[in-house]
Structure 1
Amino acid sequence: MDRRRFLARSATVVGAAGLAGGPFHGLTAMADTGQRRPGGGYGPLVPVPDARDGAVRLHLPEGFQYRSFNEAGSKFSDGSTVPGKHDGMAAFRGRHGTTVLVRNHEVNGPVGAFGDVSKAYDPMAGGGTATLVVDRYGRLISANPSLTGTIMNCSGGPMPWGSWVTCEETVNGPDVGNDFSGGDNSKLTRKHGYLFEVPATNRHANGQVAAPAPIRSAGRFAHESAAFEPVEGAVYMTEDNFGFASGFYRYLPPKHPLRAGRLLDGGRLQMLAVKGAPNKDLSAGQPKGATYDVTWVDIEDPDPEFTGTPSNDFAIQAVGKQGRDKGGALFSRLEGAIYHHGTIYFVSTQGGATAAGDSAPDGFGDGRGQVWAYEPHRRRLRLVFESPGSAVLDLPDNVTASPRGTLVLCEDGDGDNFLRGLTRRGEIFDFARLAPVDGDAGAEFAGSTFGPDGHTLYVNVQSRKGLTFAIWGPWHRGGF
């Protein structure tokens, strides 16, 4: 089963706590009352030709346009080849009205690093990030590798000091057994499963590769995404353990990152637990208005040393088990996360009850998706939305927010792949549908992020033939 990933919001400036509870504070769980609005007021989706070459790659509401760029197999500015599996992404303000995009490539296995191998964290690992400079209409100015030699760079999150934190969704390395992909971990030269920081500076946009320094104290597990909360200086992280329970984490660095100007190693890792309910199973269907007071339990050994080459299944649960042994809550496949107005919103891809007429998906969790909100100042967790069935929302993954505060959800469903909007009133609508990709049935949306001025929505197609889109049009007319 192809798995779609996350993206956190592209904001480069974050405020303090902001609006109490965030824009979705009045919503209750919508398990049986989710409302669907075609186009969110934008109207029905129609086939739209790509401004690059006229091919129809997206169905959008009338009046919207797009351009694709930097597809897999094309060339970076340095002449090296663009890998596939475009995934999580964030947008930063560039010079002279341009946008700087930092984009993940979720490549797994010992397939060799792209770009300059001498600068790779692990010369055998094929994932990493690219940094692109584009205009508001998707015209590519430059594109270069910016972190290489990592693996399964799924999503991450933008940091307000001008960096992208990229997440490895794996624990592969020469010290653990092979994973589901069948790759030979003994060929890898370094341990994987960490956070890496990639500065979104002009130097990196022009070809400088980030120093590959893992944040080991933030844990070695199947990281999905990262969202920074500026008051306490914590990085909240999701975990996508496909076949097992997942946890919701926070990393408390040794110095506030806004003062340090970067994310430092050597801090404390914790997992969320529900007060008075050890190992609360939040992957199951939730009652309307579900709200929980929470606490945080310490992970004593965030970067465990393995001996005897344990199985990948054992290694990928080693950090999470420490939290669950202390009462940590159970989630299903946590993916996208975003900080917005004092609240961390995050997505449980397979959370919820199995809907009538829907079969249970593969992996841990039987539902079609949940959207959760954590309020750090209250230490309170609440359910924003639970999908009543695949026709309404089908396995949400990456998430971002529009300038109005509407959430943009990338789906990882079994049928057509949509971008859907979730408004402050709890209305959900279709905004974009991906046209079938020849020979690549697993193609899916990923990495949605609005540009700094809100004019353009950038989004990736995560597939072997991956590419990036810039979408623009009459946003004022509907839910975004």
Structure 2
Amino acid sequence: MSDLDRRTVLRGAAAAAGGAVLGGPFLGFVNRDTAAAHGSQRAPLVDTVADLRDGKVRLHVPAGFHYRSFHDTEAPVVLDDGTALPGRHDGMGAFRDRGDDVVLVRNHEVNNPGPAFGPRTPYDAQARGGTTTVHVSRTGEVRRAYTSINGTMMNCSGGRMPWGSWVTCEETVNGPDVGPDFTNASNVPLTQPHGFVFEVPVRGEASGEPITAAGRFTHEAVAYDPHSGYLYLTEDSFEFPSGFYRYKPRRDPMKLGYLDNRGRLQMLAVRKRPNIHLEGNQRRGDTYDVKWVDIDDPAPRFPYTPGETAPTTNDDATVYVPKQGWEQGAAYFSRLEGAVYDDGVIYFTSTQGGGEAETELGPHATGGYGNGSGQIWAYYPKHQVLRAIYQSPGPDTLDFPDNVTTSPRGTLVVCEDNTNDNYLRGLTRQGELFDIALNRLTSSTGTSRFNDEFAGSTFSPDGHTLFVNIQAGAGMTFAIWGDWRKIGV
């Protein structure tokens, strides 16, 4: 969820290291100070490149690059199946289509009860989130689009599965069995519990059934390791510590073609360092040997009387699953968001990691849990080792890293989610941080939208196009292309 939106709501409410020898990517990663980070970018961004949709300048991009926006919900958009497209475009995965075309499966992070969008039978008729599927050219021309799952809630990020599915994640624990969240909106109208992951096939129908064994918590993203068969899941718990999880399906989804709901959920802990505060300041290359602790009750349902506000508070429901891990020594992180698998490594972001470690476990209602400008972590499944590969020295360098993907050449592409200028940043294997794009949106009335966050970065399967969303009420999607190799992406 947008940090600006969450903080606005919450403030308003408040006012009324074991080592291992590792090879692979980012081995020589080094932090950069503010001046170096901005002074070493490979190609200065150009402020005159127009959106090929209508000739307006919406992004600053490197010289020689082009972009086209589509599905701009500042005005109503109706899809081919009659869906009135919701905003809040968030996590997204790209898959191969016919010829050079691309299939995008895109989340819509919509909160609070209300009628489900789209013509499909919803999981919950009173939940307004879900995913839409878009068939698009490499240069952003929409072929067709439709609802692919609906009746879910706060679909934040997710992950692309190699057998041909997108796993979409609910960043909430709302339900009729849980009291109101930070918005104070009643959950009584909801008909189903939320806080799960759902599988959305690129081809064929989504079942609309949650993978409950993968946990009911404030999910953010998921990355699949084809060697171990684990799905690695991040938790974005704004007010409380977050955990890093893994889910092992009972049967191999690469053979089965889908995820089963009979696996085991576990949470990361650091060996000999129970309940270590990893949200605190990390030195470059800090490395930890890890273990995994079982979550025995991953999908709780709480007692309630239909038509009445549930006695279980949202805070209690939020910590129910992670608390099972904390009691066994699981590690504390700050707001784990984007995750991606690449070349034997799981990369994931900690949006407010770094800075002084927290001393209270929560709730941290207005500022969120974590005092830094962001961290990027690498987990090596083969070695069961966790390494801090980047920590932002301050908001002028990298401010609140969120969704993340990798280019075909291994550069990390990081979406910023802050309250000022928002960038797409590149992070090379040599440790160089540089700018890829800058948000320069304005509304139809001329109001600045520079603080609308980037989300859902994903490359087309051939590496030609970077697709990315603007996550806002008036969301939209961009296709960006150019000579990626020339700028080091």
Aligned: 1:94 with 2:97 = yes
Instruction: Among all aligned residue pairs of Structure 1 and Structure 2, give the percentage whose two residues are the same amino acid.
Output: 55
CA distance in 1, matches of 2:223, 2:340: 5
Could you tell me how far 1:366 is from its partner in structure 2? 0.2
**Range that drifts further, 314-323 or 63-72:** 63-72
Identify the match of residue 224 of structure 2 among 219, 225, 228: 228
1:3 matched to 2:6? The reply is no
Residue of 256, 267, 274 corresponding to 1:260: 256
**Aligned residue for 1:332?**
334
Q: Partner amino acid for 1:327? A: G
Is residue 284 of structure 2 the alignment partner of residue 288 of structure 1?
A: yes
**Contact 1:59–1:435 (CA under 8 A) maintained in structure 2:** yes
In 2, distance between residues paired with 1:21 and 1:170? 37
**1:380 aligns to 2:398 (yes or no):** no
Query: Of 430, 454, 457, which residue of structure 1 is paired with 2:466?
Result: 457
The one of 172, 183, 198 aligned to 1:170: 172
- The residue aligned with 2:14 is none
Corresponding residue to 2:139 among 126, 137, 140: 137
Q: Kindly indicate whether the alpha-carbon contact (under 8 Å) linking 1:236 and 1:250 is maintained by their aligned counterparts in 2.
A: yes
Report SS of the residue matched to 2:145: strand
Aligned-pair CA distance for 1:3: 3.1
Letter aligned with residue 458 of structure 2:
T
Determine if contact 2:3/2:418 at 8 Å carries over to the other structure.
Answer: no
Q: Give the number of the structure with larger relative contact order, counting CA–CA contacts within 8 Å between residues 6 or more apart.
A: 1
List aligned pairs for 1:303-314, cutoff 5 A: 303-307=299-303, 309=310, 310-314=312-316
- Answer with 436-445 or 264-273: which moved more: 436-445
Report the Cα distance in structure 1 between the residues aligned to 2:241 and 2:448, rounded to whole angstroms.
29
Return the offset for 1:444. Answer: 1.2
For residues 257 and 35 of structure 1, the distance between their equivalents in structure 2, rounded to whole angstroms, comes to: 44
Alignment partners' CA distance in 1, 2:98 and 2:380: 35
Q: Secondary structure, in 3 states, of the residue corresponding to 2:58?
A: strand
Rounded to whole Å, the distance in 2 between the matches of 1:245 and 1:297 is: 16
Q: Map 1:102-121 onto structure 2 (within 5 A).
A: 102-116=105-119, 119-121=121-123
Q: Aligned to 1:316, what secondary structure does the other structure show?
A: helix
Kindly indicate whether the alpha-carbon contact (under 8 Å) linking 1:446 and 1:462 is maintained by their aligned counterparts in 2.
yes
* SS of 1:187 mapped into structure 2: coil
CA contact (8 A) 1:290 1:382 kept: yes
1:273 to 269, 284, 293: 269
Counterparts of 1:64-103 in structure 2 under 5 Å? 64-72=65-73, 73-103=76-106
In the alignment, the residues of structure 2 paired with residue 108 and residue 470 of structure 1 have an alpha-carbon distance, to the nearest angstrom, of 26
3-state DSSP class of the match of 1:95?
coil
Cross-structure match for 2:9:
none
Alpha-carbon separation, structure 1, partners of 2:353 and 2:267? 18
Residue 4 and residue 88 in structure 1: after superposition, are their counterparts in 2 closer, same or farther (change >3 A)? farther
Given that residues 59 and 441 in structure 2 are in contact (C-alpha distance below 8 angstroms), is that contact kept between their aligned partners in structure 1?
no
Q: In the alignment, which of 290, 294, 298 is matched to residue 298 of structure 1?
A: 294
* Structure 1: stretches of 5+ with no match in the other structure: 6-19, 204-208, 356-360
User: Residue in 1 aligned with 2:19?
Assistant: none
Secondary structure (helix, strand or coil) at the match of 2:41 reads: helix
Deviation of 1:327 after TM superposition, in Å, equals: 0.2
TM-score (norm 2): 0.90
Q: How does 1:124-273 map to 2 (within 5 A)?
A: 124-201=126-203, 203=204, 209-273=205-269
Q: 1:475 is paired with a residue of what secondary structure?
A: coil
TM-aligned CA deviation for residue 39 of structure 1: 7.5
The aligned counterpart of 1:13 is none
Give the deviation of 1:281 after TM superposition.
0.4
2:54 match:
53
* CA distance in 2 between partners of 1:254 and 1:156 (Å): 20
TM-aligned CA deviation for residue 38 of structure 1 = 5.1
* Deviation, structure 1 residue 97: 1.8
Question: Residues of 1 paired with 2:82 and 2:303: CA distance?
Answer: 41
The CA deviation at 1:440 is: 7.2
Counterpart pick for 2:481 among 465, 468, 472? 472
Deviation >4 Å, runs of 4+: 31-34, 439-442
Aligned partner of residue 142 in structure 1, secondary structure: strand
Number of corresponding residues = 454
User: CA–CA distance in 2 between the matches of 1:299 and 1:186?
Assistant: 28
Give the TM-score, by structure 1 length: 0.91
Cα distance between partner residues in 1 of 2:467 and 2:155 = 18
Per the alignment, do residues 34 and 175 of structure 1 end up closer, same or farther by CA in structure 2, a change over 3 Å counting?
A: farther
In 1, Cα distance between the equivalents of 2:297 and 2:488? Answer: 44
Given the superposition, is the C-alpha separation of residues 39 and 98 from structure 1 closer, same or farther in structure 2, using an over 3 Å criterion? farther
Deviation at 1:79, TM superposition (A): 2.2
- Structure 2 portions without partners, runs of 5+: 6-21, 305-309, 358-365
Does the 8 Å contact 1:102/1:132 carry over to 2?
A: yes
Query: Match for residue 43 of structure 1?
Result: 44
Q: 1:61 to 1:167 in 2, by over 3 A?
A: same
Contact 2:249 2:263 in 1 (8 A): yes
CA contact (8 A) 1:354 1:368 kept: no
Does the CA-based 8 Å contact 1:57-1:434 persist in structure 2?
yes
Shift, 1:106, TM fit: 0.2
Distance in 1, matches of 2:32 and 2:217, equals 30
Per-residue deviation, residues 397-426 of structure 1 (Å, max 9, x unmatched): 000011111100000112101001111111
CA offset at residue 69 of structure 1? 0.6
Residue 431 of structure 2 aligns with which residue?
A: 426
Q: 1:155 corresponds to which letter in structure 2?
A: S
Q: Secondary structure at the match of 1:363?
A: coil
Q: Which residue in the other structure is 1:346 paired with? A: 348
Amino acid at match of 1:154: C
Superposition deviation, residue 183 in structure 1: 2.1
Q: Distance in 2 between matches of 1:453 and 1:373?
A: 25
Q: Is the 8 A contact 2:221 2:338 kept in 1?
A: yes
